[in-house]
Amino acid sequence: MENVAIFDSPGKGRGLKATKEFWAGDVIFSEPSISAVVFDSLGERICHSCFRRGDKLQRCGQCKFAHYCDRTCQRAGWAEHKLECSSIKAYGKVPNENIRLVARLMWRLDKEGSMVSDMQLTTLDELEDHVADMQEDELKEFKVDIHNFLDYWPRTSKQHTIDDISHIFGVVNCNGFSVSDQRGLQAVGVGLFPNLCLVNHNCWPNCTVILNHGNQSAVNTMFHSQRRIELRSLGKIEEGEELTVSYVDYLNLSEERQRLLKTQYFFDCTCEHCKNRTKDDLKLAGKEVDGVKPSEEQVKEATDHCYEILEKMDQARLKGDYHEVVKICKACIEKVEPILADTHIYLLRIWSTLSEVQAYLQYFNDAADYARKMVDGYIKLYNPNNAALGMAAMRAGVTHWQAGEIEVGHGMICKAYSILMVTHGPTHPITKDLEAMRMQTEMELRMFKQNEYVYHSMREAALKNKPMTMMHEPKNVEEGIKNMFHRKK
Ligand SMILES: [Zn+2]
Ligand SMILES: [Zn+2]
Ligand SMILES: [Zn+2]
C-alpha cells in the first residue's frame, strides 16, 4: 500500500490520502474482498464463487442453495462456503444476504485473525458502525437480523458478544460495496473491501471504484482473486490530496444527495458542490430559445408534469409494458421539450428510459435520437470522466450504429472508449468490447466514405448477425453503476 496513507480528514474522521501524484486512469490500489455474498434474489443465477452470470449453474448437493459454474468454481468457493453450507442445512432455511455476509466475514476473521492481508490498513474493529445513529424502524430491522443471526450461527463456531456481532452488522450496513456481474452492468451481490472502507465521499470525487473480474482463465487460481476492486484516479491528484469516491449519483440535486447521504451513511456532506449547490440550477433549468427563457411558472409546471409521468413510466416499465412506456414518454416529451433545458434531470430520465426501450423494441432511429440528447445533457452535468457518462455514450454509440448513423456512432463509441479507459481500465470486459466496436465502426466509416452502397449492404449483413447487441430487457441497467455502494432502500 505504498500509494496511500491513513490520515485525519478535517470534519470527516479518518480518510485516505495520496502519497504520490496520480493521473487520470491510474490504479491507486487494487484489493480483493474480505468476503462477499450473492443477493437473495439471484441465488440461482449467479455463481457463488466467481459472481459470473450463468445459464446452467450447478447446485451444491449439500445445502441445495449455493450455485456454481462448475466443479472448479465450487472447489474455489469451498473455503468460504464450508461452514455456511452446514449451517444452512442445520438452520433449515437460508438467511438473508446481510446475515450470510456477516457470518462469512466472522468465520474468516475467526480463522485468520483481524488482518486477512498485509495490505490492509485497518481492522474491522476500528471502522465506524453508526448503530447509535440509526432511526427507530431501521434499528428494529437490524435487531431482527441479529436475532436470526444468533439462530443461524453454529454452537461449534467461536461465540461472540452481541456488541461484537452488532458492530459487524453496522460496518456491513454502511460499508458494503455492490459486486457486479462480469459485464459490470448489474449489481448481483454485496461484499466488504478492507481499504475501500476508508475512502471518504465527495459528490465531485477524484476517484472511482470498479470491480474487475479479471480474465476467465485466472479466475480460480487464487482464493477470492475474482472479486477485486480497483480504485482509479479520474484526473490529476496531487501528493497529499485526500482520495474520494461518490456514494450517490451526481444527477440528484444537492439537497437530495445530502438527504440520501444522511439517511444511508449518517453524515452531512460539506463538499464544495453541496455548499455552493453547484449545477442545481441546470438540473431544473428551462430551455432558452433565441434568448427567450420560459417563465418560472412554465418551468415549474413542466417539472411537476414530468415528476408525475416518471412514476407512471417506471410502473409500466416494471410491468414490461414497453409500448405503454413509449406512449407515456412521447406524450410527455411533446409537452415539456420546448420548455425544459437538456440538463433537466427529469427530462434526462425520460429520454434515458425511452431510448432504452426503443432500442429493445428495435426502433433504432428513435433510440439513437434520445440517447444523443441524453449524452448532450450528461456532458454538461457530469465530470468528464464519469462512468455513467461513459456508459451512456456507449449506448448512444451502439444505437447510432444500429440506426445506420455511422459517423455519430463511431464518434460516440470513441468517446465512451476514452472514458472507460479511465474508469474501467483496458482489461475490463466492457472496455474490450468497446475497443472491438471502435475498430469495427472505424472500418465501416472508412467504407461508408468510399462507397455508401457497399457500406449499407454490409451493415445489413452485420445487423443480422447482431455482433454488437445491447438489447437485453430494459430494466435498471445502470443501477449497478450509479449506486455502487450497497444500501438497502
Ligand atoms: Zn463461477
Ligand atoms: Zn452447500
Ligand atoms: Zn456533497
Does residue 457 register a pLDDT over 90?
A: no
Q: What is the CATH number for 444?
A: 1.25.40.10
Does residue 364 register a pLDDT over 70?
A: yes
Shortest-distance ligand to the CA of residue 86: 2
Residue 355, domain member (yes or no): yes
Mean pLDDT of the chain: 90
Residue 252, domain member (yes or no): no
For the chain, helix (H) and strand (E) counts, in that order, are 16, 12
Rg of the chain's alpha carbons, rounded to an integer? 24
Residues 92, 163 share a domain: yes
What letter would DSSP give residue 46?
B
How far apart (Å, rounded) are the C-alpha atoms in residues 421 and 406?
Answer: 22
pLDDT above 90 as % of the chain:
77
What spacing in Å lies between the alpha carbon of 151 and ligand 1's midpoint?
29
What spacing in Å lies between the alpha carbon of 175 and ligand 1's midpoint?
25
Residue 294, domain member (yes or no): yes
Extract the runs of DSSP E, i.e. beta strands, from 157-266.
177-180, 187-192, 200-201, 207-212, 228-233, 244-245
| pLDDT at residue number 166 | 97
Range 74-87 average pLDDT: 95
Q: Which three cell numbers stand for residue 358?
A: 426503443
| pLDDT at residue number 458 | 76
Residues 225, 98 share a domain: yes
Distance of CA 95 to the CA centre of its chain: 25
What spacing in Å lies between the alpha carbon of 230 and ligand 2's midpoint?
30
Residue type, 294: P
Summarize pLDDT for 242-262 with one digit per residue, the tens. Answer: 999 999 999 999 999 999 999
Task: Give 222's pLDDT tier (boundaries 50, 70, 90).
Answer: very low
Domain that holds residue 293: 279-361
What spacing in Å lies between the alpha carbon of 88 and ligand 2's midpoint?
8
How far apart (Å, rounded) are the C-alpha atoms in residues 298 and 167?
Answer: 51
Choice among 144-153, 224-233, 300-309 with the minimum mean pLDDT: 224-233
Shortest-distance ligand to the CA of residue 227: 1
| pLDDT at residue number 226 | 62
Residues 6+ apart with CB under 8 A from 407: 445, 448
Number of domains in the chain: 3
Residues 132, 22 share a domain: yes
What spacing in Å lies between the alpha carbon of 105 and ligand 2's midpoint?
17
What spacing in Å lies between the alpha carbon of 38 and ligand 2's midpoint?
14
Instruction: Return the closest-CA partner of residue 63 out of 39, 44, 88.
Output: 88
Shortest-distance ligand to the CA of residue 48: 1
Task: Give 196's pLDDT tier (boundaries 50, 70, 90).
Answer: very high
Sign of CA dihedral 222, 231, 18, 238: positive
Shortest-distance ligand to the CA of residue 252: 3
